Amino acid sequence: MKPLDTIVAGTVFGPRSDAAVRIATTLAEAFRSKTVLVHAVHEQAYSVIAEHPGIPELERRLRERHAQSGNVNAADVEVVVVRGSAARAIVETAATRFADLIVVGAGTPTDSGESRIGSTTSRVVRNSPVPVWIVAPNAAAKPSKILCPVDTSEASRRALKNAHFLSQVFEADLTVLHVLEPLSTLYAGIDMPDDAVEMGFLSPQKQRFEEFLGDLGFRDESWSVTTLRGKPHEQIIAHARESSTDLIVMGTVGRAGVARLLLGSVTEKVTRQLPCSILTVKAKELVSLRVESDLESIDKCLLGGRQLLEAGEAAKALREFDRCLSISPTLVVAWNGKAQAYEHLGENARAAQSRENAERIAAWLRETDSNST
């Protein structure tokens, strides 16, 4: 993980948010990062909240809750209160602030004591252009036990480097977990060959895993390695619970900054169960996949949005521009399109915010171009 310049944390008034803010605060102190707190007010409640207690008062109370988390540099905190979808607000804020990480709460425990990922958090993970730290209820401010499941893919390689780095920062124990999936697990209910054939099937998996660890070049004493057999997501969840793991770091199959995140099936299943806090890490090497189809989709959305604006269908145009931004959150022309749509709808404050986002991104792109020449 590169040094965290900006951390975006989704906030509500409740224990779920408090746990997320504690983690964001700890990370901000460790990396001297700026923290952006995002709070979304439901569309139907916004007009009431705007008057009672008022947006400035809401921002003040959010700052107070942040200060209660123990932050020693509360001045370096930005509070953003927006109208509408919480997931969209968090992802858009991360894009326009060029955040390095999003921190969100997972939800409340069930009657059985287990946690489940909420719909807002699920949408954030799927659409985020950056890694997402999903904070389980009652999570410790600093992880002392980190688990990194790997499958020898490039996504796992990136996740393990992040996990190793975090274990050093927090002086936490790191366990690398590799799950071998036997034929009997892959084809349950079907008679399988004898043990010798099964071992022949598993042997190449073991060899690839050993080569995978050797290529990383980390010291052996910096982690412990555990190998299990069975269904990967079941073994990961069981091991995390049995070992009282604080944080699971998992790679995802995604295209950071180009299109919406596509979770791998194992990562998604573990995230749904949420045995503890989880950090999802994207694989940058996959950025180039499906770029051509992404660009084609963007062109269609932009054209559709412009045509709908000309036809006076501002609300429908807004949805088209949002589709563009779900593919590429830093698309300046789509932010300007949103500003025009909001102006047609008479929502001048949101139009101004969209134009500010467009200008901020354009300035960043110009700076990036100048630095690369």
| Residue 140 included in any domain | no
Is there a single domain that holds both residue 113 and residue 129?
A: yes
Pairing mode, strands 101-105 and 132-135:
parallel
Residues making up the chain, counted from first to last: 373
| Residue 308 included in any domain | yes
Count of C-beta atoms within a 10 Å radius of residue 75: 6
The whole-number average pLDDT for the span 161-177 is 89
Residue 219 and residue 351: Cα distance in Å, rounded?
53
pLDDT, tens digit (0-9, with 9 covering 90-100), for 271-321: 888 889 999 886 433 233 334 445 667 778 888 889 999 999 998 898 888
Residue 325 and residue 261: Cα distance in Å, rounded?
13
pLDDT at 145: 95
DSSP string, 333-371: HHHHHHHHHHHHTT-HHHHHHHHHHHHHHHHHHHHHHHH
Is there a single domain that holds both residue 79 and residue 205?
A: no
Q: Which candidate, 183, 165, 167, places its Cα nearest to that of 175?
A: 167
Is there a single domain that holds both residue 249 and residue 306?
A: no
| Residue 126 included in any domain | yes
Is there a single domain that holds both residue 65 and residue 159?
A: no
Residue 20 and residue 105: Cα distance in Å, rounded?
5
| Residue 1 included in any domain | no
Residue 45 and residue 22: Cα distance in Å, rounded?
27
Among 58-72, 180-194, 325-339, which is the least confidently predicted range?
180-194
Q: Which residues on neighbouring strands pair with residue 148, listed in sequence order?
A: 176
Is there a single domain that holds both residue 154 and residue 276?
A: yes
Q: How far is CA 280 from the centre of its chain?
A: 6
Query: Between these two residues, 178 and 200, which has the higher pLDDT value?
Result: 178
Residue 237 and residue 147: Cα distance in Å, rounded?
10
pTM for this model (two decimals): 0.69
Q: Which residues on neighbouring strands pair with residue 25, listed in sequence order?
A: none
The three-state secondary structure class of 141 is coil
Please give the torsion angle defined by the CA atoms of residues 91, 97, 102 and 104, in that order, rounded to the nearest 10 degrees.
Answer: -70
**Domain end call among 135, 154, 176:** 135
Looking up tokens 């299109």, which residue turns up? 259
Residue 159 belongs to a domain with what CATH number?
Answer: 3.40.50.620
Q: Based on the number of CB atoms within 10 Å of its own CB, is 284 exposed (0-12), middle (13-18) or buried (19 or more)?
A: middle
Residue 139 and residue 82: Cα distance in Å, rounded?
27
Q: Based on the number of CB atoms within 10 Å of its own CB, is 235 exposed (0-12), middle (13-18) or buried (19 or more)?
A: buried
| Residue 78 included in any domain | yes
Is there a single domain that holds both residue 102 and residue 201?
A: no
pLDDT at 255: 37
Backbone CA torsion sign across 181, 272, 98, 17:
negative
Element (H, E) at 19: helix 15-31
Q: Which residues on neighbouring strands pair with residue 224, listed in sequence order?
A: 175
pLDDT at 58 > cutoff 80? no
pLDDT level of residue 141 (50, 70, 90 thresholds): confident
DSSP string, 237-285: HHHHHHTT-SEEEEEEB--TTTS--B--HHHHHHHHH-SSEEEEEE-GG
Is there a single domain that holds both residue 230 and residue 163?
A: yes
Residue 207 and residue 118: Cα distance in Å, rounded?
38
pLDDT, tens digit (0-9, with 9 covering 90-100), for 60-81: 777 776 666 555 555 578 888 8
Among 2-16, 222-236, 282-296, which is the least confidently predicted range?
282-296
What is the count of structural domains for the chain? Answer: 3
Query: In which domain, by residue range, is 167 found?
Result: 145-260+268-286
pLDDT at 147 > cutoff 70? yes
